[in-house]
Structure 1
Amino acid sequence: MTPERNEKTPDDIDNGVLTTGSIDTAGIGLVGGTTAQVDVDLPALSDDDDFIGDDDVILDTPAAGTEALGADVPGAVDAEIVDDATPGGGVPSTRRAAFHLDEHDAKHAVERVHTRTADVPLQSRRLGEFEAGRETSDLLTADRLLDPAHVVRPEPEGGWQHFLYSISAHRLNLGDGKRARARKELDRRIAAPLGGGAKFVPVLSRKGGVGKTTVSTLLGMALADARDDRVIAIDANPDRGTLADRIGRSSGKTVRDLVRVRGEVVGFNDLSSIVARDETRLDVLASDTDPRVSEALNDRDYHDVAAVAAHYYSIVLTDTGTGIVHSVMEATLELADALVIVAGLSVDEARLASETLTWLETNGFEEQVRNAVVVLNTARPGTPLVRASELEAHFGTRVRSVVRMPYDPHLAAGSAVSFRDLQPATRQAARELAATVVEGLRALAVG
């Protein structure tokens, strides 16, 4: 019995006979922006097909309806299989070439895909522009979301307000009194943030004995007491300065020590061992107390010290000397963001302060003068002989603001100053001066 033959004969291969009876459909599905599927019906092979020669041409005729389908579908895909072995890379011309690619030809078959996409413009829209009435996250504020009936208000300050709060078992809270509200508002003005790096504020006076060092101390204490950032006061008096004596604490180091080790300062701990700090967190850099040193600071030294201070402090106050043409004064004015001019309540002291403003205006510091603050300091007890209101009116025409500093016996002693022990009027004036200086610095940054 002869076994059944399942192998193809050479004639079958040569004549391109398909072993399957028919191919009903062939689908092409490509993943893209739009997928088009084309069903092609091929007739079943008959015995007559075995006699088609290698040179017989198969017409590349699309199935009925496929041409219209590809034209109507947006982004339709045209795909064709190209045999690199055929001349010119075109469509195979015979059935054998179409269905009997050898292994080499199959590896080099290339599928060329031509995608037709419509030009769709891309637009970006901000949040809230998609639909009318949509809200963004910045509208979810605490004032809107929190129920005032359930928010615990802080204990009120003020005699009558606190009394009602206590006897009502904390149920009746009328808020702070007028004086407490004014104090908190002044704290807010002093503590307002400053951007753009360290701000330099020198305190000037061309006449000794008018209270320049005292004003520098009070201004620094008022700033440091209310602000969260660091404040430093530098004694830049070329002669023997007394700024460090007004805070009652000493580090044993001076500005000359900082000039000598400035290259070794790599952190605030290195600097904190040189400066002295008082109870309000004001840092003070003392001047050189060695009587053998005729000049403690020059312009180059001041620039070196200022560069270190600007790296660790937000506000740098400078208690200058009386020599306005000294080299260190020139360096101080070059870095100044705002000026504080101290004038005494006497004819010659007031006139000298006004002449100082004129000198600054004629030497290129007009903008600093317009933004300056003049402090009318009462250094002696009793009623002054000059009318302070007239001085205030005069300087008000030349500078941004004028602040009066009342007489305080605690300051007249010339010893260490305790900010808590000052008279209320003196402490209030110092805080008003600090708020005025901060507002000037903020206005300068905005402008």
Structure 2
Amino acid sequence: MKTHFIAIGGSAMHNLAIALKDKGYQVTGSDDAIFEPSRTRLEKKGILPEELGWFPEKITTDLNAVILGMHAHQDNPELAKAKELGLKIYSYPEFLYEQSKNKTRVVIAGSHGKTTITSMILHVLNFHQKDVDYMVGAQLEGFDCMVKLTRDNDFMVLEGDEYLSSPIDLRSKFLLYQPNIALMSGIAWDHINVFKTFDDYVEQFRKFVASITPGGILVYNEEDSEVVKVVETAENYFRKIPYKTPEYEITNGKVHLKTEMGDVPLSVFGAHNLLNLEGARHICQTLGIMDEDFYEAIMSFKGASKRLEKVERDDKGTLYKDFAHAPSKVKAAVKAFCEQFKNEKKYGFLELHTYSSLNPVFLEQYDHAMDGLEEAVVFYSEDALKIKRMDPISPDLIKEKFKNQNLKVFTNAEELHAYWNTLDKTHGVYLMMSSGNFGGLDLTK
């Protein structure tokens, strides 16, 4: 099969391209910008485009599939050529469904926790040498690629994202998967550039539940009132399995899960991660993994990349980075950090740089998000606001919306870095929350 990727350099797209190459497909692609690690990984597989840019001549009638990434625009010249030739154009999730439509599809959805839960499930299955196809949104220890596609595996585990499928397919990605088994971890308004109201956002999850195949299974977080509303009002037929935060205790800085089989020591911390773990356990049960085997495997799970991930520093200071940027994720990460390091001075840094997080209306969602930290810092770039054509935001407005007048607010990367360099990282503990890089801050030094 011959496939071509329009915008092959994306974090999701390049992993799918590699998975198809490993499956034996002919793979080509184009992009106008490819960054690391995508560049090196594509190059190793021999599918890195020879030059950057869009080349309509690459679109030929012998292509079996054209896969369109979100980075491309509707007026992309390669897309126009594909339409002109009448070729089949797939979005990323649409193509994943085509690859898995004859398998049992397990889809993990939710505003937060879906990457960690998917990662936990895959870790347990890998530990017990249970081979499945998968797609996950983070690099995992012991896995070469974030996507695996085979001809023979019976199951496919998919992280289900509610964001748009492609520039020409405005459906939420997870609506294309039609799960046999699903999990919903939580609902908290996000992506307000696309979903203008909270109800519009919630509607995507209603549709997701409605897309579960007849007689399927939904594992859901019964502690989230919005999730419960969606489940209770669903009209289609499926089996409902609720889950909640399990009992645990922290002893000498180590989290121990309280189970019928005794205490289970864990390598992750935070109530939200234990809630994620419980959801993963129920999914694994549906896949034939007994609780005893689940606990044996989960003890060695160290977390998904950039999810409360410990950074090894040259000075041996205690620093964790987290992908948290949406309000619900920030609150969960801060709460976990404060609980884990009760007796330490806690520093928290948050970078606001997504469209939603820089919207004055959405900033209301961050109220008290940094409470519990002895030193709390928020950074956003005034240049980023200009690039996004958004109105300026004052530091005073940030303090007001966070309901925290003790916040340190930086709008210039150089000033942030200067402050960072005044801190002795061997004293206290540090939590760095961003889907960016704090204007190029090196967290290892």
**Larger relative contact order (C-alpha < 8 A, sep ≥ 6)?**
1
- Structure number having the greater strand percentage: 2
- Of structures 1 and 2, the larger Rg is shown by 1
The two structures have a TM-score, normalised by structure 2, of 0.24
Would you tell me which structure has more helix in proportion to its own residues? 1
TM-score by length of 1: 0.24
